[in-house]
Amino acid sequence: MDTKFHPAIAAIKSGDVEGLKTLVNQDPSLATARSSKSHPTLLQCVVLDAIDLPNKVELTKVLIDAGAEINGPLCAAASIGNVEAAGALLDAGALVNGTGGWSPLEEALYWDNDGVIKLLLYRGASVHNLRLAAGLGRVELIEGFFNSDGSLKPEAGKIDWPFGDPQTSNLAKPIKEELQSKIEAWSNDSREIINNAFVYACMHNRLEAAKLLLQKGADINAIPAGFDYAGTGLHYAALRGHRTMVEFLLEHGANPTVKDPKVNNSPAGWADYGGHKELREYLEQTAQEHRSS
């Protein structure tokens, strides 16, 4: 973050509640100002970098009480699985569905943070688009996003992801350019939206949701938009170690030799990265058999 924030960051990382409080009292703008680099605000710094500190909620409340913006930090807490900070932010009035567009629940689903997912649902988060319904396995809601003729309703939503508008972020220029080029390639046609939701079903091991989305036209081998590390449903099921989903996908025609476009790796490689040795070996054998057939 910018130099003016450095003493406060030091207090945060050392868990010095009284030190942070003193600094904010001396310069109240520390709580509300935005940085031009790294984390945009001190409160985002707290929820992301103080997650392992026992007094992270007390640190969070110092900045909340000083008037810090709380909706962005709620999404940040969802991204890293900081359940305690997310609870404090919701108690302080953070909007459980966010301020429009990408919601805290979507953030938690994208990064697979079950504790925050459960908290947000308990606190009333809505399941308001197809990818949310798919990731949560809400089959009855998935059906509701389709018309009787099988076409997709507008309420199913559009492709989106955690990175927002790269041009307004504090990301390094090469990363901004990479993300922007991906956004510009999104078609947002119905098939792409369904394929995007299908990957959410696979990554969260929602077997019935995956079955339904295949019936609705999902391409089992698609690498859809809406992910930085884009992959097929099989890639994401392998990464998360979901053996039952992996077997289901293979039985229904998933190609175990497909490589992702970012790191050029197969589902077996993603399983290995996720620490799932037996699943990696199974996928390697399946891929070899696929190539021999």
- Provide the residue type at 173 as one letter: K
Predicted confidence (pLDDT) at residue 167 exceeds the cutoff of 90: no
Q: How confident is the model at residue 140 (pLDDT cuts 50, 70, 90)?
A: very high
Q: How confident is the model at residue 168 (pLDDT cuts 50, 70, 90)?
A: confident
Q: What is the tens place of the pLDDT at every residue in 45-98?
A: 999 999 999 999 999 999 999 999 999 999 999 999 999 999 999 999 999 999
What's this model's pTM, rounded to 2 decimal places?
0.95
The string of DSSP codes covering the chain is: --GGGHHHHHHHHTT-HHHHHHHHHH-THHHH---SSSSSSHHHHHHHHSTT-TTHHHHHHHHHHTT---HHHHHHHHHHT-HHHHHHHHHTT--TTTTSSS-HHHHHHHTT-HHHHHHHHHTT----SHHHHHHHT-HHHHHHTB-TTSPBPGGG-----TT--GGGS---HHHHHHHHHHHHH----HHHHHHHHHHHHHHTT-HHHHHHHHHTT--TT---SS-SS---HHHHHHHTT-HHHHHHHHHTT--TT---TTT---HHHHHHHTT-HHHHHHHHHHHHHHHH-
Burial class (CB in 10 A: 0-12, 13-18, 19+), 157: buried
Q: Where are the domain boundaries for CATH 1.25.40.20 in the chain?
A: 3-122, 141-292
**Nearest alpha carbon to residue 122 among 144, 104, 142:** 104
* pLDDT value of position 96: 98
CATH code given to domain 141-292: 1.25.40.20
Q: How many CB atoms lie within 10 A of CB 14?
A: 12
Predicted confidence (pLDDT) at residue 293 exceeds the cutoff of 90: no
Q: Which residues in 68-106 are b (16+ Cβ under 10 Å) and which e?
A: bbbbbbbbbbbbbbbbbbbbbbbeeebebebeeebbbbb
Q: Which residue carries 């406060």 as its tokens?
A: 8
User: What's the average model confidence in pLDDT over 212-230?
Assistant: 97
Structure tokens that stand for 160 in this block: 């989106």
Residues 125, 118 contacting (CB under 8 angstroms): no
* pLDDT value of position 100: 86
CATH architecture assigned to 3-122:
Alpha Horseshoe (1.25)
Helix pair angle (114-122, 71-80), 10° resolution: 140
Residues 47, 82 contacting (CB under 8 angstroms): yes
- Tell me the pLDDT of the chain averaged across its residues: 97
